[in-house]
Amino acid sequence: MDIGVVGSRKCAPHWEDRLRATLDWCKELWPDFVLVSGHCPGGGPDMWAEKWADDNKQAKKIFPIPAGASADFRKRAMARNTEIVRASRIVIALWDWDSGGTANSVAKAVYLNRDLILVANDSDFGVIFDRLQKLAIKHEPCF
């Protein structure tokens, strides 16, 4: 079982606790799962997840953004996100409702029929469902 983690570097530090709790729960269900991450050097969910994996002796698959010109950074980042989603059976998305990269990863996860665990600020399911519907309309999963 491979579980990917995606999310914005802008996620507040207290979200790390939410991610750690989610990963702890996943470990209870699938003790030998492999963590799939993008290794964003800017910090946030990628690095939090990798630290959790190191602390828990969990195997990892890392898909860093390939080096290249800054002009095509977004294209390389989106391609890396595709690799993360394709390599994962479950995708955990820490979404602040603002990150276009996370939105694109969520759309890809849905399109590729991956199970999705959404960690977000809103606890009202109606608000989350409304935002996911708008996501489906706005973000066609470009591969």
Q: What is the pLDDT of residues 70-90, one digit of tens each?
A: 888 888 888 999 999 999 999
Q: What pLDDT sits at residue 136? A: 54
Question: What is d(CA 117, CA 85) in angstroms, rounded to the nearest whole number?
Answer: 13
Place of tokens 């996620």: 11
pTM: 0.84
Q: What pLDDT sits at residue 66? A: 83
The Cα-based distances of 85 to 4, 28, 46, 68, 82 in angstroms read 7, 22, 13, 22, 5
Tell me which residues of the chain have a pLDDT lower than 70. Answer: 98-99, 121-143
